[in-house]
Amino acid sequence: MTRTSGSTGSTITRPGKPPVCKAAMGVGALFLLVGILGFIPGITTNYDTMQFAGHDSNAKLFGLFQVSVLHNIVHLLFGVLGLTLGRSPGTAKAFLVWGGAAYLLFWIYGLLVNKNHEANFVPFNRADDWLHFFLGLGMIALGLLTARKVKSRSAVGGGAHSRGDLPPGSTAPRGRQEPRGGARGPRDMR
């Protein structure tokens, strides 16, 4: 992002959000949306059968994914976590990787639990199980690959304070304000 200061005419360059932050916030927004949609009749079929928790809830998001009030609350909480932790690269990566690991655990749990047993309290159906598998893998991949891009860019000299991304002949670090007209400092007068 580049912005020009009105009083001095100088240019300030600020990098945008790192890809890992954008990914975490995007995943968080998606979870929030899904959590909200789970409470909307019509988008959630058999809405009148929705229960707080338990395998007897026959409500299905998009007519496919079994949901309950608890299931929707879990989606909303993951959404809030994604938006909150997506503000910095370290916490964004942690949200994606550990959240993805949690979804892989949900997948394993869903495969092992009897769908008609009280242990299926969230509840999950087969469509949920496989969605959890792909969500888990996708979140972990996003966390590792997008965080790696930020790290590798700075490691090879393309980071925010690298001189390699400045115009030829420039001596100021990126982001430093320079007076208009190319005024020179004492170091440049030699």
- For the chain, what are the domain ranges? 17-152
Tell me, what DSSP letter sits at residue 167? P
User: What pLDDT does 55 receive?
Assistant: 78
User: What pLDDT does 11 receive?
Assistant: 57
pLDDT beyond 70 at 61: yes
Tens digit of each residue's pLDDT (9 = 90 or more) over 40-56: 999 999 999 999 987 78
Q: Which residue from 58, 9, 79, 67 is spatially nearest to 39, judged by alpha carbons?
A: 67
Tens digit of each residue's pLDDT (9 = 90 or more) over 155-175: 444 444 444 444 555 555 555
Is pTM beyond 0.75? Reply is no
Instruction: List Cα–Cα distances, 135 to 74, 89, 105, 110, 132, in angstroms.
Output: 14, 20, 11, 14, 5
The pLDDT-based confidence of 86 (bands split at 50, 70, 90) is very high
User: Once rounded to an integer, what is the mean pLDDT over residues 181-190?
Assistant: 51
User: What pLDDT does 148 receive?
Assistant: 73
State residue 23 phi and psi, 5-degree precision. Answer: -65, -45
Sign, CA torsion 121/60/139/18: negative
d(CA 133, CA 22): 22
